[in-house]
Amino acid sequence: MPSAMNEKTVAELEKLLRYIAANLKQRGREILTNYPITPPAVCRFAMVT
């Protein structure tokens, strides 16, 4: 049974991390709308960070 609890915990952590990542991505988009960066430049910027 402990392995089932571990799988559940891992699943919960993964879900939380995906939620955090989505929020960070959205916040980054909101911030970048304030700057005149073209889409290709945004892609290059994302690769650098």
Per-residue pLDDT tens digits for 12-23? 999 999 999 999
| 35 torsion bin: left (phi>0), alpha (psi -120 to 50), beta (else) | beta
The ranges of the chain with pLDDT < 50 are 1
| 15 torsion bin: left (phi>0), alpha (psi -120 to 50), beta (else) | alpha
To the question of pTM greater than 0.75 for the whole model, the response is no
